[in-house]
A and B are shown apart, each in its own frame.
Chain A
Amino acid sequence: MDYATLLQLLDTTLRLATPLLLACLAGLYSERAGIFDIGLEGKMLAAAMSAGAVAALTGSAWAGLLAGIGASMLFALLHGIAAITFRGNQLISGVALNFLASGLTVLIAQALFQQGGRTPPLSGPARFNAITLPGAEALREVPLIGPLYYEVISGHSVLVYMAFLIVPLTWWILFRTRFGLRLRAVGENPAAVDTAGISVVGLRFAAVGITGILCGIAGAYMATALQAGFGREMTAGRGYIALAALIFAKWRPVAAMWACLLFGFFQALALRPDVVQAVVQVRVPVPLLDALPYLLTVLVLAGFVGKAIPPRAGGQPYVKER
């Protein structure tokens, strides 16, 4: 494999890791606050459809993004009401929302556009297009660094850069702010937060709201940047992969980025069977390559990554006790 091919692979890795990363960080906020969210998938799907539809109708990718965030937040609110207000089972609520999103997105897209549950293909300002970073052209000829900067770092949509900037931002919020301290505390021991006179319900809704925003960006990215429009089940299990990455990363933001890049790399490999064949000298069947990220997910979830301790109060509704 030559250097140019490697750079292509890494470039694809970044593009494919972005929705995973956004969803993974979304899950991080929710789960750090003690609300398990298996419904990342459904929120992304709802956001992708809304973003695709609104972008197609208005011709603006930014309007699509806002619509995506709105749809995702609506789903997050439903999860919050079920899990926080009514102290329901968080897994069941998440699964229900996934089903709801799976059916509702196709139904609405079909009703709006009559294109078999898809939204119309997007182009021009209705999509988030690639940005060339400053100096990319000028540095292109510098050996090693130049092509890396031009091919891999530069030339992505604004949402990719946004996703990777949210990683240090999340770290800073979690570990350097009052909100972060309280958020982590409410996921570990809500009684400590409650007796300190802070609202457990308020904190958890705030966390679930952030989850909604990030899943909204992830879904909008799928429909308006990675691809040109919404298609049935287009998230293809990315919400679950993001959850696996979150466990893999032990609920830490920077580790989450590396985990998502790893999963993204496997997805990128699946798109280049020729490269895999050149490296391992065996023709690996494409379906097997396609399955790789999902196999890795199963391995991670089965606990092959060592002991991952989730937030201690995760999954348990908070009930005031005497």
Chain B
Amino acid sequence: MVAPADTMGRQATAAPFAIELKGISKAFGPVQANKDINISVPKGTIHGIIGENGAGKSTLMSILYGFYKADSGQILVGGTPTPIPDSQSAIRAGIGMVFQHFKLVQNFTVLENIVLGAEDGALLNTSLGNARRILRELAQEYGLDVDPDALIEDLSVGHQQRVEILKALFRQADILILDEPTGVLTPDEADHLFRILRGLKDQGKTIILITHKLREIMEATDNVSVMRRGTMVATVKTRETSPEQLAELMVGRKVLLEVEKTPAVPGKVVLSVENLRVRDEHGVERLKGISLDIRAGEILGIAGVAGNGQSDLLGALGGMTKATGRITLNGVDLPLSGAGADGQSRREAGIAHVPEDRHHHGLILDFTAWENVAFGYHNDPKYQKSALFMDNDALRADTEKKMATYDVRPPIATLEAKNFSGGNQQKIVVAREVEQNPDLLLIGQPTRGVDIGAIEFIHKQIVALRDAGKAILLVSVELDEIMSLSDRIAVMFDGQIMGMRDPATTDERELGMLMAGMDGKTAGEAA
């Protein structure tokens, strides 16, 4: 194995804490990302770090992994002060990191990825041979089975994550940091990950789990530290706290975690989709015959792991993607290709669209808030001064009104979109689409990268629109969001709808099976 003497050194200096951070501060220009952070992680525990986007969690972990240098403060590993100027030092100190976006070479084998940077010598053959042996031992010890000769691009996301964990273990990491590890996993894969983590903990490894999902913190951790606006506001024992308390610590005020809504009163069919098919530019069929109805006054939630056709469904309905099949809105056929199959025509027909990716499709970041509020509705008569000129004053006034209603901060219509936080950007997009009072709202990943406070607000708006008798198609990879908002749930897998479920009678387990492409009949065997 790599540098065995080093490991023995670490074990000899047994201390109660695997990692201690003392007074860590880091500023990026005027932004203070970390302010005087103190944290002690006991050996052999799973320690959660939770906080909203921009709270400074990732910065803190990047400092620990040698990506950034702290402006001040001290890092102690196993009781010894350890400067970590680069990743190599972090690896030497026994720290391993599993990034949110995997750092794997796609067309390399598992073995090559694991060996990269930790080779035994200048020639590969011996390195690969040794690595194969060590990998087999690790697989037995921790139940981390991966085919060493498989190409990364052929592996599922869950397996790729296992390769990242194996990479860290191969480098003899005693402390494993995982940054938002479940964002890309199905519930089943996430459960498997937590089983692996508990196994690692039983073997004496220390694990730091960064997440914004309260449920995972409650399920998997021993202790949890909460960060807010660059400071560490509290560290508590997990079994002595509650999701409500953690949410309050994160946001700084009481937050409603449950969405309050009354049972739906579905009316007539607003949108009817029959045999909708989409091919991508490579000729691959992304939607394989989707049929569904959405009624007035109901929210249809589309669950699924990202990349199973949800985006193509939104694209086809929103007029962004060419498709075949048939869609009718209030009984009127809408074109799926050629003239009239564009976002502008769809909006005129009464379909509003909050796109999944607000940075690429929802907003132009370099444009001001009021310009962004005009997009898609710039031909609306109320924004026209004459045949040639737009009424920018009316538009600005309208934007300011919307910003006040939606509590967008800061409420400055002339500020460029990029200067708002993720949650406030999303509020601008939602305000633009919802305030047009559409018959059908398409809304994709409404709360991705949005902080808890704004999530609560956006959810309320969606429910209010439903209660006003509108139809809503909600696409989200967050199963909690789908479960709490939807009146009916459709699960997509591989461009098809695997099943329709009633949120009152289904559970995450059943939905997770459908998301993995297993219907009810085969679910029993797979489990």
A: residues with CB less than 8 A from B are 175-182, 184-185, 188-189, 191-198, 312, 320, 322
Q: Is the CB of B104 within 8 A of A194?
A: no
- Report if A185-B105 is in contact (Cβ < 8 Å); known contacts: A176-B123, A176-B124, A177-B123: yes
**Complex alpha-carbon distance, A196 and B108, angstroms:** 15
B: residues with CB less than 8 A from A are 58-59, 62, 65, 67, 86-88, 90-91, 97, 99, 101, 103-108, 112-113, 115-119, 121-125, 127
Q: Is the CB of B67 within 8 A of A196?
A: no
* Cβ-neighbour of A197 out of B91, B107, B121 (below 8 A): B91
**Complex alpha-carbon distance, A2 and B101, angstroms:** 62
Task: Please list 20 pairs of residues, one from A and one from B, whose beta carbons are closer than 8 Å in the complex, sorted by A's number.
Answer: A175-B124, A176-B124, A178-B123, A178-B127, A180-B124, A181-B119, A182-B116, A184-B108, A185-B105, A185-B108, A185-B116, A189-B103, A189-B105, A195-B97, A195-B103, A196-B91, A196-B118, A197-B87, A198-B117, A322-B62
**Complex alpha-carbon distance, A322 and B58, angstroms:** 7
Inside 8 A of A320's CB, which chain B residues have their CB?
67
Q: Is the CB of B116 within 8 A of A196?
A: yes
Q: Is the CB of B59 within 8 A of A193?
A: no
Inside 8 A of A189's CB, which chain B residues have their CB?
103-106
Inside 8 A of B115's CB, which chain A residues have their CB?
181
**Complex alpha-carbon distance, A189 and B118, angstroms:** 16
Would you give the shortest CB distance from A198 to chain B, in whole angstroms? 5
Would you give the shortest CB distance from B293 to chain A, in whole angstroms? 40
Q: Is the CB of A192 within 8 A of B124?
A: no
Q: Is the CB of A194 within 8 A of B123?
A: no
* Cβ-neighbour of B106 out of A175, A188, A198 (below 8 A): A188
Across the A-B interface, give the 9 residue pairs with the lowest CB-CB distance, nearest first.
A196-B117, A197-B88, A192-B103, A197-B87, A178-B119, A195-B103, A188-B105, A191-B103, A189-B105
Q: Is the CB of B125 within 8 A of A176?
A: yes
In the complex, number of A-B residue pairs with CB atoms less than 8 Å apart? 73
Inside 8 A of A184's CB, which chain B residues have their CB?
105, 108
**Complex alpha-carbon distance, A179 and B124, angstroms:** 9
Inside 8 A of B107's CB, which chain A residues have their CB?
188, 312
Would you give the shortest CB distance from A133 to chain B, in whole angstroms? 31
- Report if A197-B86 is in contact (Cβ < 8 Å); known contacts: A192-B113, A320-B67: yes
Q: Is the CB of B108 within 8 A of A179?
A: no
- Report if A195-B99 is in contact (Cβ < 8 Å); known contacts: A181-B115, A185-B105: yes
**Who on chain A is nearest to B112 by CB?**
A181
- Report if A312-B106 is in contact (Cβ < 8 Å); known contacts: A194-B87, A195-B99, A197-B88: yes
Q: Is the CB of B59 within 8 A of A322?
A: yes
Inside 8 A of A195's CB, which chain B residues have their CB?
65, 87, 97, 99, 103
Q: Is the CB of B87 within 8 A of A177?
A: no
Q: Is the CB of A322 within 8 A of B67?
A: yes
**Complex alpha-carbon distance, A178 and B99, angstroms:** 24
**Complex alpha-carbon distance, A320 and B69, angstroms:** 13
Q: Is the CB of A179 within 8 A of B117?
A: no
- Report if A181-B87 is in contact (Cβ < 8 Å); known contacts: A189-B104, A196-B116, A320-B67: no
* Cβ-neighbour of A193 out of B58, B90, B106, B116 (below 8 A): B116
**Who on chain B is nearest to A182 by CB?**
B116
Inside 8 A of A191's CB, which chain B residues have their CB?
101, 103
What does DSSP make chain A's interface, helix, strand, loop or mixed? Answer: helix
* Cβ-neighbour of B122 out of A179, A192, A193 (below 8 A): A179
Q: Is the CB of B59 within 8 A of A178?
A: no
**Who on chain A is nearest to B122 by CB?**
A178
**Complex alpha-carbon distance, A179 and B119, angstroms:** 10
Would you give the shortest CB distance from A174 to chain B, in whole angstroms? 10
**Complex alpha-carbon distance, A193 and B88, angstroms:** 11
Inside 8 A of B119's CB, which chain A residues have their CB?
178, 181
Q: Is the CB of B117 within 8 A of A197?
A: yes
Q: Is the CB of B104 within 8 A of A192?
A: yes
**Who on chain A is nearest to B101 by CB?**
A191
Inside 8 A of B104's CB, which chain A residues have their CB?
189, 192
Would you give the shortest CB distance from A322 to chain B, in whole angstroms? 5
**Complex alpha-carbon distance, A185 and B122, angstroms:** 15
**Complex alpha-carbon distance, A184 and B90, angstroms:** 24
**Complex alpha-carbon distance, A322 and B68, angstroms:** 9
**Complex alpha-carbon distance, A322 and B61, angstroms:** 9
**Complex alpha-carbon distance, A113 and B127, angstroms:** 55
Inside 8 A of B62's CB, which chain A residues have their CB?
322
**Who on chain A is nearest to B59 by CB?**
A322
**Complex alpha-carbon distance, A180 and B91, angstroms:** 22
Inside 8 A of B106's CB, which chain A residues have their CB?
188-189, 312
Inside 8 A of B86's CB, which chain A residues have their CB?
197
**Complex alpha-carbon distance, A312 and B86, angstroms:** 25
Q: A192-B104, A192-B113, A195-B87 are in contact. List 4 more A-B contacts (CB 8 A).
A: A178-B122, A192-B103, A195-B103, A197-B88
**Complex alpha-carbon distance, A192 and B98, angstroms:** 11
Inside 8 A of A178's CB, which chain B residues have their CB?
119, 121-124, 127
Q: Is the CB of A181 within 8 A of B99?
A: no
For A189, A191, A198, which residue has the most chain B Cβ atoms within 10 angstroms? A189
* Cβ-neighbour of A181 out of B58, B90, B91, B116 (below 8 A): B116
Q: Is the CB of A192 within 8 A of B116?
A: yes
Inside 8 A of A176's CB, which chain B residues have their CB?
123-125
Inside 8 A of B108's CB, which chain A residues have their CB?
184-185, 188
Inside 8 A of B97's CB, which chain A residues have their CB?
195
Would you give the shortest CB distance from B340 to chain A, in whole angstroms? 33
**Complex alpha-carbon distance, A180 and B127, angstroms:** 13
Inside 8 A of A181's CB, which chain B residues have their CB?
112, 115-116, 119, 124
**Who on chain B is nearest to A185 by CB?**
B105
**Complex alpha-carbon distance, A274 and B87, angstroms:** 64
**Complex alpha-carbon distance, A189 and B117, angstroms:** 13
**Who on chain A is nearest to B114 by CB?**
A196
**Complex alpha-carbon distance, A73 and B123, angstroms:** 27
**Complex alpha-carbon distance, A188 and B121, angstroms:** 22
Q: Is the CB of A196 within 8 A of B87?
A: yes
Q: Is the CB of A193 within 8 A of B117?
A: yes
**Complex alpha-carbon distance, A194 and B118, angstroms:** 12
Q: Is the CB of A177 within 8 A of B124?
A: yes
Inside 8 A of B87's CB, which chain A residues have their CB?
194-197
Inside 8 A of A198's CB, which chain B residues have their CB?
88, 116-117
For A175, A176, A196, which residue has the most chain B Cβ atoms within 10 angstroms? A196
Inside 8 A of B124's CB, which chain A residues have their CB?
175-178, 180-181
**Who on chain A is nearest to B128 by CB?**
A181
**Who on chain B is nearest to A322 by CB?**
B58
**Complex alpha-carbon distance, A26 and B118, angstroms:** 27
**Complex alpha-carbon distance, A178 and B130, angstroms:** 14
**Who on chain A is nearest to B28 by CB?**
A322
**Complex alpha-carbon distance, A237 and B318, angstroms:** 48
Would you give the shortest CB distance from A253 to chain B, in whole angstroms? 16
**Complex alpha-carbon distance, A32 and B118, angstroms:** 21
**Who on chain A is nearest to B61 by CB?**
A322
**Complex alpha-carbon distance, A182 and B123, angstroms:** 12
Would you give the shortest CB distance from B120 to chain A, in whole angstroms? 9
**Who on chain B is nearest to A175 by CB?**
B124
Inside 8 A of B103's CB, which chain A residues have their CB?
189, 191-192, 194-196
For B59, B88, B107, which residue has the most chain A Cβ atoms within 10 angstroms? B107
For B58, B99, B101, which residue has the most chain A Cβ atoms within 10 angstroms? B99
Inside 8 A of B125's CB, which chain A residues have their CB?
176
Would you give the shortest CB distance from B357 to chain A, in whole angstroms? 18
For B91, B97, B108, which residue has the most chain A Cβ atoms within 10 angstroms? B108
**Complex alpha-carbon distance, A185 and B117, angstroms:** 10
Would you give the shortest CB distance from B180 to chain A, in whole angstroms? 12
